[in-house]
């Protein structure tokens, strides 16, 4: 559905996007994840024909973004960054304007507008001016505007930014239900958001793709193995040497001592579970174990790991 081949884009000396390639299949929800200024919005602007790439090509549903830009724009519903809206228009007036610009017949305009008002929950505010709306309703109006022509591809730049947790859940569910039939690209710098809504994630940093896969695949990508947190009542030095003697850990770090209880962080490369061994070692030595916790690797660690690694 969407094919992007090694696109690059610079603003002056800043390289916003460098050699980015990816594919999105029909019906897939793809998430762009990356810190602010990573090049997510620029990539989206290129796909929506707002900016052309300096080099590389991209096509949507078989139409090239440069040579067939009008066809591409017809296929896409776009929610730009910061959701710009005409503040002096009425809500209905705005939706009608977009519907007209999408060259919809007046009959289908009416049914479609009613439909998006229903989907996005805008019934209570149709009579208002856009400028009077709260942030949450503005965001929903932006989404309604992107959905109005039933596009095959939805491009949403930070769709849940600035919303309260309740609204975020609503918008996420909305995106999920839309994503069953449509191809969706969304960007975010918030992790749970992407893992909650996307089938596949691209992690972008400094204009490059640094990781890609399903949220689960990415979680296993993280290097550094497992981490175990242990608290033991006993003498600090002895415990530390015993852990080292076990010869299973790449790193033994003392974290804190609190009322005779010493807390350690142990890192291991071993694939099998070593927490039982830790338990037996402690109990054999006659100390008591007060905490044994295996840190699970989540997308957050992968993200931090991939985006803080120096890009050469």
Question: Which residues would be at the binding site for other proteins (CB under 8 A)?
Answer: 45, 48-52, 54, 70-71, 73-74, 76, 78, 80-82, 84-89, 93, 97-98, 100-103, 145
Taking the CA atoms of residue 185, residue 186, residue 190 and residue 192 in that order, the dihedral angle to the nearest 10 degrees is -60
* Closest approach of other proteins to the CB of residue 47, in Å: 10
Helix (H) or strand (E) holding 109: helix 106-119
| Cβ nearer to other proteins, comparing 187 with 227 | 187
Q: How far is the CB of 80 from other proteins (least distance, A)?
A: 5
3-state helix/strand/coil string of 123-173: HHHCCCEHHHCCHHHHHHHHHHHHHCCCCCEEEEECCCCCCCHHHHHHHHH
Q: How far is the CB of 121 from other proteins (least distance, A)?
A: 21
Q: Minimum CB separation from other proteins for residue 51, in Å?
A: 6
Parallel, antiparallel or unpaired: strands 76-79 and 153-157: parallel
The answer to whether the beta carbons of residues 280 and 289 sit under 8 Å apart is no
Q: Indicate the residue among 62 and 192 with the shorter CB distance to other proteins.
A: 62
Residue 64 vs 305, nearer CB to other proteins? 64
Tell me the C-alpha distance between 173 and 35, whole Å: 24
Nearer to other proteins, 154 or 282 (CB): 154
Q: What are the tokens at 19? A: 């050699």
Instruction: Name the minimum Å distance from CB 53 to other proteins.
Output: 9
Q: Which is nearer to other proteins, 155 or 266 (CB)?
A: 155
Minimum separation from the CB atom of position 173 to other proteins (A): 25
Residue 143 or residue 281: which is nearer to other proteins going by CB?
Answer: 143
- Determine the Cα–Cα distance for residues 218 and 108; give it in Å rounded to an integer: 43
d(CA 112, CA 264): 60
């Amino acid at each position: 559905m969407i094919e992007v081949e090694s696109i690059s884009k610079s603003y002056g000396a800043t390289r916003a996007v460098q050699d980015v390639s990816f594919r999105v299949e029909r019906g897939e929800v793809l998430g762009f994840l990356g810190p602010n200024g990573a090049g997510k919005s620029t990539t989206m602007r290129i796909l929506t024909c707002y900016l052309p790439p300096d080099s590389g090509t991209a096509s949507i549903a078989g139409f090239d973004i440069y040579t067939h830009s009008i066809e591409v724009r017809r296929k896409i519903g776009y929610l730009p960054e910061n959701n710009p809206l005409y503040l002096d228009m009425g809500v209905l007036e705005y939706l009608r304007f977009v519907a007209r610009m999408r060259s919809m017949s007046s009959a289908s305009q009416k049914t479609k507008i009613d439909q998006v008002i229903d989907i996005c929950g805008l019934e209570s505010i149709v009579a208002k001016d856009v400028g009077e709306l709260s942030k949450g309703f503005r965001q929903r109006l932006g989404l309604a505007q992107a959905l109005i022509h039933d596009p095959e591809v939805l491009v949403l730049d930070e769709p849940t930014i600035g919303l309260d947790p309740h609204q975020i859940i609503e918008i996420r569910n909305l995106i999920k239900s839309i994503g069953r039939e449509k191809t969706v690209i969304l960007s975010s710098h918030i992790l749970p958001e992407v893992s909650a809504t996307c089938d596949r994630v691209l992690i972008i940093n400094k204009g490059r793709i640094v990781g890609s896969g399903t949220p689960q695949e990415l979680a296993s990508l993280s290097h550094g193995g497992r981490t175990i947190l242990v608290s033991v009542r006993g003498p600090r030095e002895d415990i530390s040497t015993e852990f080292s003697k076990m010869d299973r850990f790449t790193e033994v770090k003392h974290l804190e001592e609190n009322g005779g209880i010493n807390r350690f962080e142990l890192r291991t490369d071993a694939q099998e579970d070593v927490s039982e061994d830790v338990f037996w070692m402690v109990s054999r030595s006659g100390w008591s174990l007060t905490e044994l916790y295996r840190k699970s690797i989540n997308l957050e660690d992968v993200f931090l790991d991939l985006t803080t690694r120096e890009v050469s």
